[in-house]
Amino acid sequence: MKWIVLLCLPFVAGCRMTKFIKQEGVALENHVITTVTATEPVKCSWDCVDTPLCFSVNVKRLQTGSVTCELNNSSKTADPQDLMPRAGSQYQQMMEVDHCTVGECIYKDALPDGWYKFGSKLIKLFPERRTWEQARQSCQLIGGELVSINREDENEFISHLLGQIKTKGKDSNQIIAHWILDGTDSDVSLINGATYEEEDGVKSLYLSGSGAYATTPAVDFGKTSFTIASWVKLQNPVNDQSVIYSDWVNPRIFLFSASWYTRLLFGAFNEKDELKPWIIEGSPPIGNWFHVTGVLDRNGSEARLFLNGKKIGIDPVQSDWWDASHTYALRGYLRDLMIIGRALTDEELTNNITDPNNEPLDGVWIGLNDVTTEGAFRWPDDTHVTYTKWASNQPDNQYDYQDCVEMTVDEGTWDDTSCGRQLPFVCEKKT
């Protein structure tokens, strides 16, 4: 093993120096994010320094005198088993950074178990969903805190970590729509007195049972199989039907409701306005939150119902869909309504109803909050807020109700939001 020291690359405000180890005849397999060509290996090293999720480089000299470099999103620290013999290749990994003033460069490495070293911190993204307070407690349990962000390159680094999760979720499940129903969905309209209210610490859509409802943009259910899922809390006395979600767009209509004489119903109306249930099963609780999922599998010509992650019924679907119009009001609360453009399998639905990979990811919790004093944002470790990355028009403390901050996955920008939302989160530990 040899050392190479990259001396004083000039920058606007001075220079920086990085020390790489280099190892001949090996390469890190299975982690290449991009391949670049350069006139000399040192250029590749600097490319890696400047690429947020690059932690090592496989360098190969060409006969022309130039080099090709594979930039890896891991290192032999995190994945020693992937460091394999490869003739003519040289493995390089950053070991030290020096002479950096703030914002120019920082030491980073991929560590085992999903942790990353970033400067003097360890950072890890936790995909499980928690409220802000629960997320903070989870971080504290492992000797850390919700992350504080003090620099642009740190924000960019974490933002890139989120990007990896998001892609996985959208590709694998064809999520058509996901409405949180806490007042943050810009495309949900409230009709006839529907409101957002806090219920059990979570802001949710409240329907009074006397004609209140909410509308979303139309979803085309015409040809494909689909899965629809939501959290529901019914209030006494329960209305029959209590519609969770319904497609009123002619000529097809279906209805998913929470109480057909204390059962769940997933079905359609015919042209005489007669209900033609595909399936009626289960006993949804009254006065407690429950999670309900309906699956229409058009290929298998069957409908399935799940209550709190357990399959409670399966029936063949014979009748076609018919048009009609009908409204039945739900009395109670709804949140996290999701529509997926295929029939999820029993295994996907029963294994983990809150699997983060089954949901689109809007954002993740960071530590910033104004829980103590409205408008006075603080980091959990009480460091001063010296750097911010607010999205436009944020923070807005919407509904006088937003005291915790999420980083959005698309831009890496920040938005104050309801602390009761359940989001993945980022912890930090000092090294």
Please give the residue ranges that form the binding site for Ca ion (CB under 5 A).
370, 394, 396-398, 402-403, 415-416
Strands (E), 301-362: 302-307, 310-316, 331-340
Residue 207 CB, shortest distance to Ca ion, in Å, is 24
Name which of 105 and 391 has its Cβ closer to Ca ion.
Answer: 391
**356 within 8 A of 165, measured Cβ to Cβ:** yes
Closest CA to 251 of 159, 160, 321: 321
Closest to Ca ion by CB, 3 or 399: 399
Query: Helix (H, G, I), strand (E, B), or coil: what is residue 53?
Result: coil
| Closest CB 203 distance from Ca ion, rounded Å | 12
Q: With contact defined as beta carbons under 8 Å apart, do 131 and 50 qualify?
A: no
* Residue among 308 and 398 whose Cβ is closer to Ca ion: 398
Q: Which is nearer to Ca ion, 266 or 377 (CB)?
A: 377
CB of 416 to Ca ion, least distance (A): 4
CB 334 to Ca ion: min, Å: 21
Separation CA 292–CA 281 (nearest Å): 11
- Report the nearest approach of Ca ion to the CB of residue 405 (Å): 9
Of the pair 212, 407, the CB lying nearest Ca ion is at 407
Task: Please name the residue that has the structure tokens 């990085």.
Answer: 18
Q: Specify whether the CB–CB gap between 380 and 430 falls below 8 A.
A: no
Q: Which is nearer to Ca ion, 132 or 245 (CB)?
A: 132
Report the Cα–Cα distance between both ends of the chain, in Å, rounded.
26
Kindly report the backbone phi and psi dihedral angles of residue 12, in degrees, each rounded to the nearest multiple of 5, phi listed first. -55, -45
Angle formed at CA 376 by CA 374 and CA 382, multiple of 5 degrees: 125
C-beta of 171 vs 374, nearer to Ca ion = 374
Least separation in angstroms between residue 87's CB and Ca ion is: 55
Cα–Cα distance, 169 to 175 (Å, whole number): 8
**Alpha-carbon 37 to chain mean position:** 34
Rounded to the nearest whole angstrom, what is the least distance from the CB of residue 399 to Ca ion in the complex?
Answer: 9
Nearer to Ca ion, 279 or 423 (CB): 423
SS3 345: coil
Centre a 10 Å sphere on the Cβ of residue 390 and count the other Cβ atoms it contains: 15
Give the nearest distance from C-beta 406 to Ca ion in angstroms.
9
* Strand partners for 228: 294, 339
